[in-house]
Structure formats: structure tokens, C-alpha cells
Homo-oligomer: A and B are copies of this chain.
Amino acid sequence: MRLTGVIPPVCTPMTPDYQVDTASLARLVDHLLAGGVDALFVLGSSSEVAYLTDAQRRVVLDTVVGHVGGQVPVLAGVIDMTTPRVLDHARVAREAGVSGLVATAPFYTRTHPDEIRTHFRTIAAQGGLPVYAYDLPVSVHTKLSAGLVLGLAAEGALAGVKDSSGDDGGLRAVIMGRAAPFSVLTGSEVTVDSALWMGADGVVPGLGNVDPHGYAELYRCAARGDWEAARAEQERLVRLFEIVRVGGSRMGGSSSGLGAFKAALHLRGVIDCPITALPQTPLNDDETGRIGKLLAAAGLL
């Protein structure tokens, strides 16, 4: 069965002392399900997975899988440097009851395409769950070529790809080259209508935390062939996406983007505290105020 629709990477709310705020997390899950999403992706980049300790990752898995109770599939990121460490995360995720694993190519190490293939093949063979490749060159510093992804798909090592590379030419090559039932998901918040137009199956939008209804509506419009409405909804979301740039050059892109999602969730009353994990720079009051205005302009406050 092919994974389709809106699958937001679930933010990880924290308490002021940087612990996972499970109550807020459960509320966020409710907010997403109420928004009409089709599945959840926990422990992705937008979940601050890179900042969570293994113990915190476990809390997130247990909280979300438990709270969702099987209403929708839950995918889990198993983000780590190499195969053995990824396999450890995969075991924990599988035991927690998730439906699929999302893994990047190796990073930190200097890796050959053959080694990337070995990596995904090993996770597929030993992970015990469908594996989705996560193409995120901005973090991993390797682009998964269409040829590599399609080859792994053809041999059954991959169930799908989450393409956050921003390279829609590459995305299209995978869409056109795949055999069913390989799932192609875009990770770009701002070109969902065109990705769906090309034949993508769904979207994994960080911004979907803030406005799940918006992405669900966009997807439904596209699914019923009302592309004009899909585009109008997409353009509204493009304007909302400006929240990730409010932090500007005084902080890293991770702080600015993840901080914006959490600030928006806090302003919308979904989570108790907008704090992001160390060493991220927090947004200040002025920046939070500008996020509030963008939310209001999008009809979300």
C-alpha cells in the first residue's frame, strides 16, 4: 500500500527545562488529526530529532504512537550517522509500534554511492519495516540521485522517498521512473501543488504543524482535480511560510525555522512553551510578534 496525502513531521514541544512536553505533544497530535492529515512523521528534522537524546526520542515515539492509537500510520525518523546507529534507532522505533522508518544517507563520513546503497539495503533487510529514503542535502551534504533511488526502489529496498532537496527536476525523474507502489513525497512546503501535479503522492510539510487544515485542503483540491483551488491554497501557505525567515541572519536556519513553527504553535494555543533545544538561538519578542502578524494575515489567529 502506497503512503499518500499529508504527513506532517511532528514538532517536539518541550518544557522550559528542555524535557519533552508530552501533554503538549498529545495536543499537537490532536491538532494535526483534527486538521485532516493522513499520517504522522515523528523524529524528523522539524521534530528537532538532531537535538533529542535517545531517551527523548523514545518518549516521543511512545507518546505519539500511544496517543494516535492506530487512527493513522506513524512513521519514525531513524536519523543518525551510519548504518549500525540507524539500526539501533530502528529497533526502538519498531518496538514502539511505528509503521515505517525514514532514513537519510550516511553523514559525517565521506561516502560513495555504493555505500549509500549498502546502507539502505541493510536497513531494509534488518529494520523490519518499510524504509523511506529522506533526501535532505542541506543536512546530509549528499544528494540522492534519481537513479540511486529508483534502483533501490526496484529491488524493494525502499518503500518511498521524502524529497526535501528542493530539486523538482529530480523529484519528477523519480515520479516518472518508478513502478507502483513506490511512494514519492515532497518535503518542500511551497511547491506542493506542482509536486502533486507532477504525480507525487503526498507531502511532508514542516509548516503543516502550524496549518494542517491548509495542507489537507490543498491535497483534497488536487485529489479532486481542482488545481486552481489547490494553487490558491498553496499561495496562501507560501505567504505563511515567511515565518521561517523572521529569525534572519542572527541565528542558524534551524533555529529560525523550527523556532517559528513552535512560536506559531504556541501563539495558536496548541503547545505550552515555544522553547527549542540547545544550542539553538531563541526568537525574541519582536520576532515572535512578526510571526503573530503573519499568522493573522493567514487567518490563523
The interface of chain A, by Cβ under 8 A from chain B, is 18, 50-54, 56, 79, 81-85, 87-88, 106-112, 114-116, 118-119, 122, 138-141, 166-169, 172-173, 176, 188-191, 193-194, 197-198, 227, 231, 235, 238-239, 250-255, 277-281
A110, A122, A279: which has the most chain B beta carbons within 10 Å?
A: A279
Residues of B within 8 A of A176 (CB): 235, 238-239
Cα A166 to Cα B169 in complex, Å, equals: 7
Closest B residue, CB atoms, query A83 = B278
A88's partner among B54, B84, B118 (CB-CB below 8 A) is B54
Residues of B within 8 A of A231 (CB): 197-198
Residues of B within 8 A of A115 (CB): 251-252, 255, 279-281
A112-B252, A119-B278, A172-B191 are known; give 8 further A-B pairs, CB within 8 A: A54-B54, A54-B88, A82-B277, A83-B277, A84-B278, A109-B139, A111-B252, A112-B250
Q: Give the distance to chain B from A272, nearest Cβ to Cβ, in Å.
A: 19
Number of copies: 4
Show 23 A/B contacts (Cβ-Cβ < 8 Å), sorted by A. Answer: A18-B84, A50-B81, A50-B82, A50-B109, A51-B83, A51-B85, A52-B85, A79-B108, A106-B279, A110-B253, A111-B279, A112-B255, A114-B251, A115-B251, A115-B280, A118-B279, A166-B166, A166-B168, A167-B167, A194-B197, A197-B197, A197-B231, A227-B227
Cα A198 to Cα B168 in complex, Å, equals: 13
Q: Give the distance to chain B from A169, nearest Cβ to Cβ, in Å.
A: 4
Task: Assess whether B118 is in contact with A278, with CB atoms less than 8 Å apart.
Answer: yes
Q: Give the distance to chain B from A284, nearest Cβ to Cβ, in Å.
A: 13
Closest B residue, CB atoms, query A195 = B194
Residues of B within 8 A of A119 (CB): 278-279
A169's partner among B56, B173, B191 (CB-CB below 8 A) is B191
Residues of B within 8 A of A250 (CB): 112, 114
Q: Which 6 A-B pairs have the closest CB atoms?
A: A194-B194, A110-B253, A118-B279, A119-B279, A112-B252, A50-B81
Given contacts A122-B278, A173-B238, contact A109 B194 (CB under 8 A): no
Given contacts A251-B115, A252-B115, contact A278 B82 (CB under 8 A): yes
